Amino acid sequence: MAIVFTLLSMLMTCVSDLFEKKSVESSTEDAMKTLVWYGIFNALFLCAALSFGMDETSLLPHELLYSSPAVILSPIFNYLCLLFALVAYKYLGVSVRNTIVNIDGLFFIILLVAFHMMTGMAQYAARLFDRLTIIGLILIIGAGMIYPNINGAEEKVSVEYTAESSKKTKGIVVIGIVISVISAFFDGAESMVSSVLIGDDVVDSIDFISAVAFIQVIASFLVWIYLWLKNKKPYNPFRKTEKNRFIGQGCGLLSDLFYVFALTDDAFLGIILWNAFPVLDIAAARIFMKEKLTALQYLVLIIIIIGAVLVSLS
């Protein structure tokens, strides 16, 4: 069942990505409004976890945060990851943005190696940084540096194509890639923190998930307050115009649930398939969003995906 749950998770994420792109048009405020909906679904998830996942030995979110303050790092990193990923949509299409964001496994390995070296487990850290990781690193960095210098399909057919517009377009792409890389870094950092806290049995997984959802609900509420103060009126997320955010974040929540089921059944298969996931996003963006890249651009994106898969194999 692992492959079924993984494919369902990937499908839900693909739908979520497409609707997130539609909800973030051209301003950071669009991204922040999407974060409010992210908090609403986290609130629903938190209520479910507290109602059905807790037992007499469980710690409530505030109790866990008091006993293990390091837990707060995970929701902070996750929230920053989502914020930068949403902002990246201002500059990049779904295909490029999601391919770059998907290199989070690289940062996970680097940060995990650094953590083990600082905690006196350098031998274990060295085993993580193997030949496949090195090859993946070279492919990701090399292709990432090449991509901004490739002329896009729309640029080639432009009658008024000039050196000035070329520099401007390249600058926008570079900004989008940098923001996407920052998002990938925070994603990798969140995965590293979670793996140490849960993998080393520092905290119980259900207690941990509840605490993470609790912090993200608080963060989203603060974002809602900020939007209220900024616009001099409260933001209403339940208007019909917000349907893209509702669908996007709803599918994102379903994706997370299917991903947990997939990892429970076969963690290795789930991770490998997920690192190849951007291929699905590239195809969906071409079909539904009419994003058209050149053959060379697609090739470079595929190289980045291959690099991410190689890193995950380590």
pLDDT band at 157 (very low <50, low <70, confident <90, very high): very low
Looking at residue 158, its pLDDT comes to 38
Query: What value does the mean pLDDT take over residues 103-119?
Result: 80
Q: What is the pLDDT of residue 116?
A: 74
Which whole-number Å values give the CA distances from 168 to 98, 104, 145, 240, 276, in the listed order? 22, 28, 17, 35, 31
Domain boundaries, the chain: 2-313
Per-residue model confidence (pLDDT) at position 133: 79
CA proximity to 235, closest of 42, 37, 20, 25: 37
Q: How far is CA 37 from the centre of its chain?
A: 16
> The tokens of 141 are what?
């960095």
Q: What is the largest CA-CA distance in the chain?
A: 70
Q: What pLDDT, on a 0 to 100 scale, did the predictor assign at position 155?
A: 41
Sorted by sequence, the CB contacts under 8 Å of residue 59 that are 6+ apart come out as 67, 204, 207
How far apart, in Å, do the first and last CA atoms of the chain sit?
24
Q: Cβ atoms within 10 A of the Cβ of 302, count?
A: 16
Other CB atoms within a 10 A radius of the CB of residue 122 amount to 12
More confident: 158 or 98: 98
User: What pLDDT sits at residue 42?
Assistant: 93
- Which residues have CB under 8 Å from 278's CB, separation 6+? 95, 98, 99, 102, 301, 304, 305
- Predicted confidence (pLDDT) per residue in 167-181, tens digit: 557 788 889 999 999
**pLDDT tens figures, 38-85:** 999 999 989 988 888 777 778 889 899 999 899 999 999 999 999 999
The pTM of the full predicted model, rounded to 2 decimals, is: 0.86
